Amino acid sequence: MYKFYYAPGTCALASHIALEEAGAAYKAERLDFKSHQQNSPDYLAINPKGRVPTLVTEQGVLTETPAILAFIAQTFPEAKLAPFDNAFRFAEVQAFTSYLCSTVHVAHAHKLRGYRWATEESSFADMKRMIPKTMASNFALIERDMIRGPWVMGETYTICDPYLFTIGLWLEGDGVDVSALPKVMAHRSRMLERPAVRKVVEEEK
């Protein structure tokens, strides 16, 4: 039985969905970011980064969305969430999850977490003004070059899908005109037809 730490509205949703899709036995633990529970001594003893998601397994603790997603896929091969038997196809999956974590999620983080990289109020305001533009430009690349359809990698649903769905939920709040992203929005609708996705979305509310 895994223990899975998440907070609503964060990227942890992707791993949460993947656990559900895989049929894993897990207990979800919700953290309250408003009271900074992620920086409590108890939580920092589990994940010194003070972030989510964290997956506690019998072998030890795992952090970082791309790592947790691939771990779930490899541990539950019958769910076929990543093509481990084909190094190139698996690398394509990983290139997509890497892009989401290192470029798209980071762009979004400049809206509320500018203090990670700057100190002045004027810099935070400047960063916030850029969000609609950077997020639109990152998602334009996803729309144009990355979504093969119906799922990110084509006919097969993979760990890329809950991750895209999760980050894509931030678009409207980030001021992006989603009408320019028909494939991304169709993908969101398709995701919301999946029982596992609906269950987790409901649970995180």
One residue of 14, 17, 22, 107 binding a copy of itself per CB under 8 A: 107
Residue 78, SS3? helix
Q: Encoding tokens for residue 55?
A: 């997956």
One residue of 10, 15, 38, 65 binding a copy of itself per CB under 8 A: 65
CB-nearer residue toward a copy of itself: 95 or 186: 95
- Give the residues across from 3 on adjacent strands: 27, 56
CB-nearer residue toward a copy of itself: 83 or 198: 83
One residue of 37, 94, 132, 150 binding a copy of itself per CB under 8 A: 94
CA distance 10 to 12: 5
Amino acid letter, 98: S
CB-nearer residue toward a copy of itself: 94 or 198: 94
Q: Encoding tokens for residue 42?
A: 């108890």
Write the CB contacts of 142 (distance below 8 Å, at least 6 apart in sequence): 104, 164, 181, 184
Using CB under 8 A as the binding rule, whether residue 62 contacts a copy of itself is answered as: yes
CA distances from 110 to 26, 99, 195 (A): 32, 16, 33
For the bound state, the minimum distance from the C-beta of residue 32 to a copy of itself, rounded and expressed in Å, comes to 23
For the bound state, the minimum distance from the C-beta of residue 134 to a copy of itself, rounded and expressed in Å, comes to 7
CB of 153 closer than 8 Å to CB of 126: no
User: b/e per residue, 10-25, with b = 16+ CB within 10 A?
Assistant: bbbbbbbbbbbbbebe
One residue of 9, 27, 39, 102 binding a copy of itself per CB under 8 A: 102
Using CB under 8 A as the binding rule, whether residue 116 contacts a copy of itself is answered as: yes
For the bound state, the minimum distance from the C-beta of residue 145 to a copy of itself, rounded and expressed in Å, comes to 6
Using CB under 8 A as the binding rule, whether residue 33 contacts a copy of itself is answered as: no
Binding site for a copy of itself (CB under 8 A): 48-49, 57, 59-60, 62-68, 70-71, 74-75, 84, 87-88, 90-92, 94-95, 98-99, 101-103, 105-107, 110, 116-120, 122-123, 126-127, 129-130, 134, 141, 144-145
